[in-house]
Amino acid sequence: MKTTRLNKRLINLVARASEDYNLLEAGDRVLVALSGGKDSYALMVLLEQIRRKAPFDFELIACNLDQNQPGFEQHVIVDWCEKNGFAHHMLNRDTYSVVLEKTPAGKAYCSLCSRMRRGILYDAAVDLGCTKIALGHHRDDVVETLLLNLFYSGQIKAMPPRLTSDDGRNVVIRPLVYLDEATIQEFADEQQFPILPCNLCGSQDGLQRVAIKRLLADLNARNPKVKGNLFAALSNVRPSHLYDRDLWELAGISGLDTHGTDLSVP
Ligand code: SF4
């Protein structure tokens, strides 16, 4: 595998994310979710390049789930892993028919599809004795999720770089969060990854995420710093300028020792 200038830049960004959020640690056995999309191939390659030079030992296992989508060619991923000497574990579950059956007309398939896939990967990670699951979400995914939650859920939250699942069984890491999608695309073209497109959601249009993508592309065309600023805002939170009482308490902001006097009119 060629190590170009672009490749080195991406390795350094992944290494910095790992350092900032303690993503890779000695003794880790990391299940790398390899969907066949450009982000997941980039994730696998960059993590492997870091692993080879890291001052501590950790293992990587590529894991792909064949969801029985028509035309999905899992053997392409197996061949690519074997060609590159990557340990891999292939899964096969028919989530495709369930997603088609259960998703109401006009709604996005991705929400149920990704929830089912996540459950299967979480179980596989436990079965394989993995300490972490690496996902290929990048900076654009993070800011899109931030806006989706703001606009449609009334919450300020995004995709964290590291998260322990609610039941405590899994730790999810996102080593690509400092990379933007366009640069990953450039890397994927350069490395000629054998991309397997998702046919299930490809024809759905007008969905919330697509709308957010368009909004961001439009804003970014006028000011190329927009996405970077949104991402930077996630590490520059001012609890005193927000309305979350729990956050005020955590931040030790005074004035919340008691509730205010009831001033409502009876
Ligand atoms: S892109 Fe395709 S595979 Fe991925 S969550 Fe959406 S429907 Fe599922």
Report residue 200's pLDDT band, with 50, 70 and 90 as the boundaries.
Answer: confident
Residue 179 in tokens: 């990379």
Q: Take atom 7 of ligand 1 and give the residue whose Cα is closest.
A: 110
> In the chain, what are the domain boundaries?
5-249
Which residues does ligand 1 sit against, CB inside 6 Å?
109-110, 113-114, 198, 200-201
Backbone angles phi, psi at 65, to 5 degrees: -110, 120
Q: Give 209-218 contacts, CB < 8 A, sequence gap 24+.
A: 209/108, 209/110, 209/144, 209/148, 212/144, 212/147, 212/148, 212/151, 213/140, 213/144, 215/147, 216/140, 216/143, 216/144, 216/147
Residues linked to residue 29 through DSSP beta bridges, in sequence order: 59
Whole-number Å distance, alpha carbon 144 to ligand 1 midpoint, is: 16
Q: Give the pLDDT score at 2.
A: 65
Tens of pLDDT, residues 49-64: 999 999 999 999 999 9
Q: Which CATH number fits domain 5-249: 3.40.50.620, 3.40.50.800, 3.30.1300.10, 3.40.1410.10?
A: 3.40.50.620
Report residue 106's pLDDT band, with 50, 70 and 90 as the boundaries.
Answer: confident
Whole-number Å distance, alpha carbon 159 to ligand 1 midpoint, is: 17
Whole-number Å distance, alpha carbon 239 to ligand 1 midpoint, is: 35
Whole-number Å distance, alpha carbon 197 to ligand 1 midpoint, is: 9
Q: Give the pLDDT score at 109.
A: 87
